[in-house]
Structure 1
Amino acid sequence: MDHNNLLAAWPVVGPGVAGAVFGAGWWFWVDAVVCSAAAVPFLHYLPGFFASFAALMFNCVNREDIGDGYYSPYDDSEWRSGVIGI
């Protein structure tokens, strides 16, 4: 298989793979918390809450918004150099 074909297919397949890995990890976390014979302290719930909140936050951003045309504060663009006076 050609290496260039794999690189071209990664933007299409990558988010699905990432979602499957996140889903599997979340499922194992819920299973461990629910099926635990011992009393689970609230502190053990926090990783699942934070991971769920993080997944919600990064799914709220459109792919087009993070393309190559975004503004970077580290880039020497005309807008930035005019404001700073460089």
Structure 2
Amino acid sequence: MFNLAHWFIHGEVDWDNLQSKLRAICPFLSGAMFGTAWAFWVDALVYTKTILHESYPFTYNLPGIVATLALIMMNMVSRDDLASMGDMYDSDEGSEGRAKIWLFLSYCVAFGAVAGSIAVLVTCVQNGQHVEVGVGGLVQSGLILVAALLLWGFRTGDETGYGVIR
């Protein structure tokens, strides 16, 4: 165990190589998590409709829709927008602040979606019905939030595409 700590602390890790590999893998992993999140939700809906022959309120759909909206909002901001580049082509001095506010609002929307899915699950458990939909919504919102963070954190900085290593 001491060797592992020594290896980690004293910088014998090639962080640049690790980051480049994560930049290649994480956008695809994020997409898989996003698809898995919606698959959990669809599975809960199909089970409720076909096996239990019940319907549920439309408001139970909102946390997943809002989480997807938060993913889109979060990934509209690049890291270049957050760092003041100080170049002569950037004529707008307040763009960095607006980008930070937009990113903060997108995080608030994402955590609001998770809180909404928790509220749906608590309501379902208290009423004793549609618990599958509540659990599916919570898993969906959580996975979409993690997918959004992975995609924002490890996407490439250039505008050519995701996962392209040059």
Give the TM-score band, short-chain normalised. Answer: 0.5 to 0.7
TM-score by length of 1: 0.56
Task: Give the one of 30, 42, 45 matched to 1:33.
Answer: 45
Aligned counterparts of 2:38 and 2:57: Cα–Cα separation in 1: 18
SS of match in other structure, 2:65: helix
Q: 1:30 to 1:13 in 2, by over 3 A?
A: same
Aligned counterparts of 1:60 and 1:54: Cα–Cα separation in 2: 10
**Post-superposition, which runs of at least 4 consecutive aligned residues in structure 1 deviate over 2 A?**
3-8, 58-66, 68-72
Gaps of 5+ in 2: 1-12, 86-95, 98-166
Question: Shift of residue 28 of structure 1?
Answer: 1.4
Aligned counterparts of 1:16 and 1:64: Cα–Cα separation in 2: 22
Question: Shift of residue 10 of structure 1?
Answer: 1.0
1:23 equivalent in structure 2: 35
The answer to whether residue 22 in structure 2 is matched with residue 10 in structure 1 is: yes
Q: 1:54 to 1:7 in 2, by over 3 A?
A: same
SS of match in other structure, 2:48: coil
Gaps of 5+ in 1: 73-86
TM-score by length of 2: 0.34
Higher RCO (Cα < 8 Å, 6 or more apart): 2
SS of match in other structure, 1:40: coil
Deviation per CA, 1:36-79: give whole Å up to 9, x if none.
2321112321121112211222233345434x54657xxxxxxx
2:63 equivalent in structure 1: 47
Q: Aligned residues, how many?
A: 70
Aligned counterparts of 2:36 and 2:66: Cα–Cα separation in 1: 16
